Amino acid sequence: MLAAHSRIFLAHVRYKSVGPQDGTNTHPFQARLGNRCFAFAHNGTVKGIKARALRRLRAEGDTDSEHAFLWLLEQLADTPEAEFAARLKQEADAIRELGRFNFLMSDGRTLWAYADNALHFIERRPPYAGELVRLEEDGYAICLSEVKRPDERAVLVATVPLTNETGWRKLHAGELLIVRDGRVERSLWASAEPCDAGAWPAAARRRLGARGQ
């Protein structure tokens, strides 16, 4: 079996609610802003987002998710790097008023994870002991000390905790997590409102997943 190598992986299992079953509507979406290429995956529905016209970028599919992504990028154009995360959160907060807006976005170097009602993360740090880490859904288990370098760090972000590890934390509603080089660099959050996955009907749920090293 061939192995994929990358510092950041994005994965998305989609429960279709907007747009036909078509490759152009499949997450993660990709677009370029200046000399940077971004990937984006969204969990939720933001009704009315298409009323916000795109000026420079063009959607390939029909989803609210891709439109929201491209609209975000247009608002971020020419934003200095030092202000990028704060501006991203500001614009994400505005879109969140239109519906559910959990998303993952990356430029290949940084992972931004924004929570609405359902997003969790865990930060893995060495040393790795010999205990097994088991997936919650199918019971598959691995020993981290056998598959990781002694100095390897990683951050996993997902809709729900993927493993039986005790370090998973639910992001707050409106919280933006910034991950770089396998570490949580910082978190932007200014709300006392908790993330509540149970308040979202099961039929509308999708799964997001990301891993940053």
Inter-residue contact 60 to 22 (CB < 8 Å): no
Where in the sequence is the domain holding 97, given as residue range(s)?
A: 8-199+207-212
In a domain, 154, yes or no: yes
Report the CATH number that the domain containing residue 168 is assigned in CATH: 3.60.20.10
Whole-number Å distance between alpha carbons of 160 and 16? 19
In a domain, 122, yes or no: yes
In a domain, 126, yes or no: yes
Q: What angle do CA 7, 62, 157 make, to 5 degrees?
A: 30
pTM over 0.75: yes
In a domain, 1, yes or no: no
In a domain, 2, yes or no: no
In a domain, 75, yes or no: yes
Whole-number Å distance between alpha carbons of 41 and 43? 7
In a domain, 165, yes or no: yes
How many domains would you assign to the chain? 1
In a domain, 3, yes or no: no
Tell me the per-residue pLDDT of 99-153, one tens digit each, with 9 for 90 and over: 999 999 999 999 999 999 999 999 999 888 887 899 988 888 989 888 888 899 9
12, two tokens: 């998305």
Backbone dihedral region of 182: left (phi > 0), alpha (psi from -120 to 50 degrees) or beta? Answer: left
Q: Which residue would you say has higher pLDDT here, 34 or 105?
A: 105
Tell me the per-residue pLDDT of 138-192, one tens digit each, with 9 for 90 and over: 888 989 888 888 899 999 999 999 999 999 999 999 999 999 999 999 999 875 4
Give the burial class of 94: count Cβ atoms within 10 A of its Cβ; 0-12 exposed, 13-18 middle, 19 or more buried: middle
- Return the closest-CA partner of residue 142 out of 121, 163, 168, 167: 163
